[in-house]
Structure 1
């Protein structure tokens, strides 16, 4: 993904932090979609997975005329209920769902964009909650 934008396009980046262990979340699949307005259909632009630093390095730029963007984080394979007490050390590697599934199997974040702007939207994730914000 390029951080350069033109007057007719926006750019989007993201990263995922696992707040239950205080580390980047590696291996979270992320899909980027866009649409020209609230009544338009979502168009998938591309997909990526978070790397060792929790970042997606290769999300495409939304096309000219994009008004809204959606990031879908497929979190189920990463965040699954951990049966150990919270006082025990938790693994730094993704946890398998083990058939129990995750409370939030995916997180979808839709937001408005303007041409010429860069949008960094981090996801702070734990097994039973998440938070997003517009970063820099």
Structure 2
């Protein structure tokens, strides 16, 4: 039986390009407890070089991806605000099928974002 894994992809919709250099943290959530289990930075294609959660650690449960958008937006030339409207973007989601591929992309602009379960 195949094993699942988790990937992500960040696109800068304001600039029309992949979001390179954006730091991403992954936490496993249990009640009020958050345990960091992975960290990565997006490459030139806006993806992580490897699945953010590999097959060896992939299991059903509640997870939270935190996209560190503030530093990325500053580095890409977006004028800083104090505080920045979007800084850390948390996306909490559940994995119910540990034999499937879960893809959680982020479409980002300085004043909005969206996500979905991709393929």
For the aligned pair, the TM-score class normalised by the smaller chain equals 0.7 to 0.9
Q: Distance in 1 between matches of 2:41 and 2:58?
A: 24
- Count residues in correspondence: 116
- Report whether the alignment pairs 1:130 with 2:113: yes
Bigger share in strand: 2
- Point out the more displaced range, 64-73 or 123-132: 64-73
Are 2:22 and 2:72, in contact at CA under 8 Å, matched by a contact in 1? yes
Q: Distance in 2 between matches of 1:32 and 1:54?
A: 16
Q: Given the alignment, which residue of 91, 100, 103 partners 2:85?
A: 103
Q: Distance in 2 between matches of 1:64 and 1:94?
A: 33
Deviation >6 Å, runs of 4+:
none
User: Could you say what the CA RMSD is over the residues aligned between the two structures, in angstroms?
Assistant: 2.4
Are 2:12 and 2:108, in contact at CA under 8 Å, matched by a contact in 1? yes
Which structure 2 residues correspond to residues 2-81 of structure 1 after superposition, within 5 A?
6=3, 10-35=4-29, 37=30, 39=31, 41-58=33-50, 59-61=52-54, 63=57, 65-80=59-74
Structure with higher Rg: it is 1
TM-score normalised per structure 1: 0.74
Are 1:77 and 1:95, in contact at CA under 8 Å, matched by a contact in 2? no
TM-score normalised per structure 2: 0.83
Deviation readout 1:94-134 (Å, 9 max, x if unpaired) = 23665645211110001010211211011000010000111
Partner secondary structure for residue 33 of structure 2: coil
